Amino acid sequence: MEQVMMNEQIDVNAVETPEQIRSSSARMRELTPAQCRAVMFAQQQVIRARAAKKAKDEHQAALARMWQEEDAETARPRAVVRRRETVGEVKEVSLREAIGHVLRDLRTRDHKTLREVSEKAGVSLGYLSEVERGQKEASSELLASISESLGLSTSQMLRMVADHLDSVDA
């Protein structure tokens, strides 16, 4: 990391003209040792900030590629969702599981993370995850808050749940 910072510092100084270097070194000689340390610290902070911005941009680009790949996969026609079958018996999907499935589908379709939705809805991340996995029953107030954070009304979300249940029963 220090090697990268030193290279960036050298690259920044390499752009300066000889007159600028002489004038900046003359200015540096006029500074006290404490001021010189402060200048060096500020330069290091700028280099770190640039490296952090570059890493963030690369992370955002990787996320965008991932979402594009996922969108390309979901663009293909999906097989019809069928009832879950165990040995010899048909298991119906519960309302709790259907709500979780729809909420997760809406969230991932909008390219939102659990953290983003949980913060916006005012729900803990763990609880939202459990609701999406169909492990927890969500109150009507909680469902309204989550729906709003996903940009839908509660009634729209519940219609989607009903459609999901219809597709499972078909």
Q: Using one digit for the tens of pLDDT, what is the confidence trace for 41-57?
A: 999 999 999 999 999 99
Average pLDDT of the chain is 79
Select from 152, 137, 66, 63 the least CA-distant residue to 107: 152
pTM listed for this prediction: 0.51
What's the whole-number mean pLDDT along residues 106-131? 91
pLDDT computed for residue 5 by the predictor: 43
What's the whole-number mean pLDDT along residues 50-67? 88
Q: How far apart are CA 133 and CA 127, in angstroms?
A: 10
Position 30, amino acid: E
Per DSSP, the residues of the chain read -HHHHHHHHHHHHHHS-HHHHHHHHHHHHHS-HHHHHHHHHHHHHHHHHHHHHHHHHHHHHHHHHHHHHHHHHHHSPPPPP--EEETTEEEPPPHHHHHHHHHHHHHHHTT--HHHHHHHHT--HHHHHHHHTT-SPPPHHHHHHHHHHTT--HHHHHHHHHHHHHHHH-
